[in-house]
A and B are shown apart, each in its own frame.
Chain A
Amino acid sequence: MSMTEQALMKLRCGLLACTVALAPAATALAQDAAAGARSSAAAPSSAPSQQRGAGPGIGYERTVPVITSGPWTGKRLPDGQPDISGDWSNTIANHNNTTDPQGGIPGDPHERPPRTTREQRAPSRVTDPADGQLPYLPWARAKQIEFAKGFFDASKPEYLEPLARCAPAGIPKSFYWHGYEIRQYPGYIVFLFNSGARIIHLNNPKHLSPDIKLWQGDSRGHWEGNTLVVDVGNLNSKARFGRTAEFTTENVHVVERFIFDGSNQRYNYVATFTDPAAFSRPFTITVPARRWTVADKTNEWHYEVPLANNPGKPPIGDHLERICVENNGGFGRLPAAPATVPTAAPDPAARPTAAR
């Protein structure tokens, strides 16, 4: 564990109800993750493009830190916003499984089920209701089960994860799909995800007309101390939560709270979804996140920012273009009319620039 993480844990355990547990030594993966999570002080490089890789892969932290909303005591930008700009990613697993993030994809014919018990793994991303399950209405649960099965058998177009077609990851999947960058400006916060981007309008609460439905929705935010509160309307709800294929309808309304720890190294994404068309009550998704800097090794998921070409000067991360066109649309890639699994040869013109 890095010095920063050790210090953080001491602080948290001293002052708050401590829910942090040590990663299990049982699995090799956890050990690799723990080893990789040590910050490495990177000396300024004379070969700026050298691979700094071999950092940790998918995050195997098992717990969500307790971060309470309250005043912000850290660095501020000239316009008064807490300075949260930089590179971030979630710390628990990926988009495989929303209610058992480290449990693998149910029904995956390619992987053995995990050897850990449920208690040994990270909790459900669903933190409310307390049972960690999405409170589906029966029709919606049936659909989610159908889509989750269909993930391995794309015999209908709706079984294809839209992300695989370069659609943006949407809400909440953007927050556990690869690492992302936050940029701040007077009146705006911009999130640059691996797949898609969002503009948050600050202190400008009027939403677009409800006739407009968007993959990322229309986001209206404001700061409350250490917490960025974002009201998201106008969602088209076409993105899915992950490979377990949870979804909402376009009636959904989301309120996101990004609660930043005083160290400015961690935050919790706590988002409440209200969608009475598909769910019997609102539910909350929680995704813990950590900051990454040039002191960290790149890996292929959380932190993919190479060093910039900056000879003789301190290291700077180079934020490069993130545009996905692989598998783009019905233009020769997949049939415009429903249903067969595509068998066409790969299009040589399709050149992904985003990491998959």
Chain B
Amino acid sequence: MFASPLLAADAVLPTPAKIPRTADGKPDFSGIWQTTGGADFDLTPHQGRKDSPPGLGIVEGGEIPYTPAALDKKKKNFAARETDDPRLKCWTLGTPRGIYYPEPFQIFQRKQDVTLYFEFGYSVRTIHTDGTLHPVDTDQEFWLGDSRGHWEGDTLVVDVRDFNDLTWLSRAGDFHDEALHIVEHWKLLDANTIDYKATLEDPNVYSRPWNIEVILYRHREPNFQLIENYCYTLDYDKYYPFPQE
């Protein structure tokens, strides 16, 4: 065996992918995104079920560290998932479920905020990147949490707090309560791919913080757009403008 200059160690490092940037040099997440995986079915590894394909899961370490009482509740949720999943009422998916739900969302980006516009329920989440802090009133119980973000190099780090307890994390009945706190890391791997990582903690539900990671892909079909989906009106929209005979 002989050494060749072509096999020198630093010759195999990939060059960083070119990513779109805003006028002030920040990575530009603008666009319409969606995950291809089945994380919404179940965050943890599972074989196929009648109502779910199998999945490798997106939880680091494979298990969500529920407390014993919380695990009981998760199992009850799972057993009742066909009726109790709040997505069936088209209630706002919450954070982070909206991000890995199998329906696109659009990111609009300005210097002062990054706006996530979810097609499901047409709900809007604002990540404030203007240096402001979480509100002094910490009890507003938002569906999507209050999101304050800042840049660390090319990563958008977002602190999310102040939730209600009405959303699930997946169809398998994974849940949280009002004390949920999330730290997200958003990073463009290349112009068409986002690496999304989040650490979730909730001392009332989990015995320690735990991490998830999903990859989001840019929708590149020609003329792709969100289509308004106010699905929570479907139970009653037949009465308007008036019932058709």
Contacts and interface: CB of A to CB of B under 8 A. Distances in A.
A311 interface: yes
A188 B130 CA distance: 21
Contact of B131 (A168, A201, A310): A310
Interface in A44-79: 47-49, 78
A356 interface: no
A197 B137 contact: no
A249 B241 contact: yes
Contact of A237 (B131, B164, B230, B241): B241
Given A185-B108, A349-B166, A353-B141, A322 B235 contact: no
Nearest to A349: B166
Contacts of B115: 183, 190
A81 B201 CA distance: 42
Max count, chain A CB within 10 A of own CB: residue among B109, B225, B226, B230: B230
A214 to B, nearest CB: 4
Given A143-B242, A208-B227, A167 B237 contact: yes
Interface string A148-183: 000000001110101001111000000000000001
A191 B231 CA distance: 19
A316 B117 contact: no
B228 A49 contact: no
Contacts of B233: 162, 165-167, 215, 238, 329
A147 B242 CA distance: 9
B239 A321 contact: no
A4 interface: no
A49 B135 contact: yes
A239 B124 CA distance: 20
Contacts of B146: 320-321
Contacts of B125: 321
B235 A331 contact: yes
Contacts of B132: 308-310, 316, 318
Interface in B105-124: 106, 108-110, 113, 115, 117, 122-124
A214 B125 CA distance: 21
Contacts of B191: none
Contacts of A328: 89-91, 232
Interface string A339-352: 00000000001010
A351 B30 contact: no
A306 interface: yes
B178 to A, nearest CB: 11
A20 B237 CA distance: 41
Nearest to B147: A321
A121 to B, nearest CB: 28
Contacts of A218: 228
Contacts of B140: 320, 353
A122 interface: no
Contact of B134 (A190, A250, A309): A309
A158 B232 contact: no
16 contacts: A157-B243, A160-B239, A162-B236, A167-B233, A185-B30, A212-B227, A214-B228, A240-B241, A306-B135, A310-B133, A316-B132, A319-B126, A325-B232, A329-B89, A329-B232, A338-B239
Interface of A: 47-49, 78, 143, 147, 156-158, 160, 162, 165-168, 183, 185-186, 188, 190, 192, 196-197, 199, 201, 204, 206, 208, 212, 214-216, 218, 236-240, 247-250, 306, 308-311, 313, 316, 318-323, 325, 328-331, 334, 336, 338, 349, 351, 353
